[in-house]
Chains A and B, each alone.
Chain A
Amino acid sequence: MPQIREELVARFYALFEGWGIPWIVPRLVVMLVVVSIIILFISVSAMFLIWWERKISAHIQARFGPMRVGGWHGWAQSIADGVKLLLKEDIIPTQADRPVFILAPMVVFAAALAAYVVIPFGPGLIVEDLNIGILYVIAISSLTVVGIIMAGWGSNNKYAALGALRSAAQAVSYEVPLVVSLIGPLLLVGSLSTTKIVEAQRYLWFIVLQPLAFLTYFTCAVAETNRLPFDIPEAESELVAGFHVEYSGMRFAIFFLAEYANMFTVCAIATTVFLGGWRGPLLPPWLWFLLKTFFLLFVMIWLRWTLARVRVDQLMNVAWKVLLPLAFANLGITGLLVWVFS
């Protein structure tokens, strides 16, 4: 697989070189193709996720959920919703900070998009196997909060501002245990590259060696993506909709898409680091990867429709008093064991 891809790209470059066109052009074309594929994947998976979430939540609540659009169990509901959102009037509040207001959803979406670069869907099925892969994901996913703060500030709305401030506080405190919990498995591998991490789990998934790290990471991941029980930046019963209270139509759709794209990212990273990535018997690797990721997504959705929302101060308490000590304990033990056994 990787060889074929490499060969294709090399031939493509050679073709343009033969025509005497500078190397930047084929490079841009390749990048565009890759980006389009990623965006297509994000859109399709987000639409599926939205439909799936609605179905799961409905059945947990003893109802059916969408049943009409498209025939079989309302499978086309998300498409219909998407079309509706695209066709809606684009409203920008008069008092809003226009450039910031318009840029905010783009920043959020760009951050969500960029993280897909290092997700290994299968052996070789990766956009770019960066040698700092995990570090890159952590850095990029922190960018989301910039977009959220921009949205909160640009909307010129008190609720949006409160939501943005909450989001900033939340992101700062949850980044720390998230990173620390990831260091444990990284110590076992000795590399930041996502492909190497998956290859290191040939015999044993890291969830067996690092259960504490997995739980810590998963909790932080839920908080990172602003999902219930940690959805205080957009808490609808308190702040109406938080940072995106003033957004509608297309821009709201982008926020929505970015949220689900982020969910997919954090679950994909969890799969890569803890659940053995694409490894599994019988089925093709990419299917194994998607299956594991969607199982984690299911757990996230399940959590959301079970629990109540935590409060702002409790959120901080959980991060600093529970998750961080646990993550450090895990890191210390792992480091000690690695040092003893090596």
Chain B
Amino acid sequence: MTTVNLHLQQVKERTAESMEEMWVNMGPQHPSTHGVLRLLIKLDGEVVRECIPYMGYMHRCHEKIGENRAYVQIIPYTDRLDYLASMYNNWAYCLACERLMGIQIPERAEYLRVLIGELQRIASHLIWLGTFGLDLGNFTLFMWCFREREMILDLFEAVSGQRLNYSFMRIGGLALDVPEGWLGDVKAFLQWFKPRLPEYDRLTTDNIIWQKRIQGVGILTPEDAVSYACSGPMLRGSGIRWDLRKNDPYGIYDRFEFDIPVGTRGDVWDRFWVRRQEMEQSVRIVEQALTEIPPGPVLAPVAKKLRAPVGDIYSRVESPRGELGDYIVADGSEKPYRYKVRAPTFVNLSALPVMLPGYLVADAVAVLGSVDIVLCEVDR
């Protein structure tokens, strides 16, 4: 072999090496992994070939802590799961305990739970829309969404005294009744909020760059969505009409009139559009609840020391991110024997490796954003 040939051989080897696919660590300190998620991505140029999500950086032994606390004491811990929708965590846990202990909660508490829950859904979807805008490079949308979310937080602060981790629901109802005039404030907020949605549309739905960025990206087929047990907007985006508020009504959801928006193609756009529509539906539910809300107590008479009868219960609510379920095994003492949370984002995130391959890095960010993860809930 001549020197020239040897050199050529070397060049060939080297180029073959450099043309190889490249593993890139996205996270845990990456601006658009929404917390401490690590995605190991195999890149072929800009194209994602493979994706392995690593989670668990935020594991806090939530379930084990729950086994060492009395039933009431767990409520503040549930706030820390999905901190963008704390009310739903409270609700899911309290509902499970109420079903386990056979407690009937007062009518007013039911209405207030729905009202507060739907406001929380709007707040959660707003923050999703904002951070999704951030993922796509639209910072302005983020700030606008935060402004409206702050108003909802103000409402919640007037009720519970907290802006993020409310701990407002109790086993048997709510901690306190809402202050006087609060329902009027909610009405005023809805009046302010309804014209804001078309404003967001100007930046998002109607904007050509936004459309082109997320249409036909990150397709999750209905079969995959079901087999990965996705829930919430992920599942509805894939075209499956499944909403626990309609399909397994808890509380008093069977009394309200609202639609379930579903997508058709299962791409990022459909997930965006489903959430965008859900905000409108939530406004509808809140308006109905406001007109129908009865006076009365908000907390059922419950014992100071709660003991659950021996048995187990799985109860679920439709949180903004999907099916949030609590499984409690009781052994008759004042602490649960086993306490398990079915976190919707953990399950939804597991479908990521199916959605990513074949798209670009920029799409990877959009797809990850469309899953709407909260790492505190994923890792628990």
Contact = CB atoms under 8 A, between A and B. Distances in A.
In the complex, are there CB atoms of A and B closer than 8 Å? yes
Interface of A: 57, 60-63, 158-159, 162, 166, 228-229, 231-232, 235-240, 305-314
B212 A237 contact: no
B140 A309 contact: no
Contact of B209 (A63, A305, A310, A313): A310
Contact of B136 (A166, A309, A313): A309
A240 B144 CA distance: 23
B134 A237 contact: yes
Contacts of A306: 138, 140, 203
Contacts of A63: 143
Contacts of A308: 133, 136-138, 207, 209-210, 213
Contact of A61 (B22, B140, B213, B364): B140
Contacts of B151: none
B360 interface: yes
A311 B46 CA distance: 11
B147 interface: yes
A60 B136 contact: no
Contacts of A305: 139-140
A223 to B, nearest CB: 13
13 contacts: A62-B143, A62-B147, A158-B24, A162-B46, A235-B362, A238-B32, A240-B30, A240-B31, A305-B140, A308-B207, A308-B210, A308-B213, A311-B362
B31 A311 contact: no
A115 B40 CA distance: 42
B363 interface: yes
B347 interface: no
Contacts of A229: 137, 209
B159 to A, nearest CB: 25
A232 B360 CA distance: 12
B377 interface: no
Contact of A239 (B133, B207, B361): B361
A166 B364 CA distance: 16
Q: Considering the complex of A and B, which 7 residue pairs feature the smallest CB-CB distances, nearest first?
A: A309-B137, A61-B143, A237-B32, A308-B136, A308-B138, A311-B362, A308-B137
A313 B362 CA distance: 10
Interface string B101-141: 00000000000000000000000000000000111111110
A238 B369 CA distance: 11
Given A162-B46, A308-B209, A311-B213, A236 B31 contact: yes
B365 interface: yes
A229 B210 CA distance: 11
B31 A310 contact: no
Contact of B212 (A162, A228, A232, A314): A314
B365 A237 contact: yes
Interface in B28-69: 30-32, 43, 46
Interface of B: 22, 24, 30-32, 43, 46, 133-140, 142-144, 147, 203, 207, 209-210, 212-213, 360-365
A237 B361 contact: no
A230 to B, nearest CB: 10
A240 B137 CA distance: 12
B31 A61 contact: no
Nearest to A314: B212
Given A162-B361, A228-B137, A229-B209, A312 B46 contact: yes
Contact of A312 (B30, B133, B142, B360): B360
Given A62-B147, A229-B137, A236-B31, A307 B362 contact: no
A239 B30 CA distance: 9
Given A166-B46, A311-B363, 19 more contacts: A60-B140, A61-B139, A61-B142, A61-B143, A159-B24, A162-B46, A162-B361, A235-B137, A237-B136, A237-B137, A238-B362, A308-B138, A308-B210, A308-B213, A309-B209, A309-B213, A310-B213, A312-B46, A313-B360
Q: Which of B139, B142, B144, B203 has the most CB of A within 10 A?
A: B139
B140 A238 contact: no
A237 B140 contact: no
Contacts of B203: 306
Nearest to A237: B32
A310 to B, nearest CB: 6
Contacts of B22: 158
Contacts of A57: 139-140
Contacts of B136: 237, 308-309
A316 to B, nearest CB: 11
Contacts of B138: 306-309
Contacts of B365: 237-238
Contacts of A314: 212-213
Contacts of B137: 228-229, 231, 235-237, 307-309
A308 B147 CA distance: 19
A201 B84 CA distance: 58
Contacts of A158: 22, 24
B359 to A, nearest CB: 9
Contacts of A236: 31, 137
Contacts of B360: 311-313
Nearest to B131: A237
Contacts of B207: 307-308
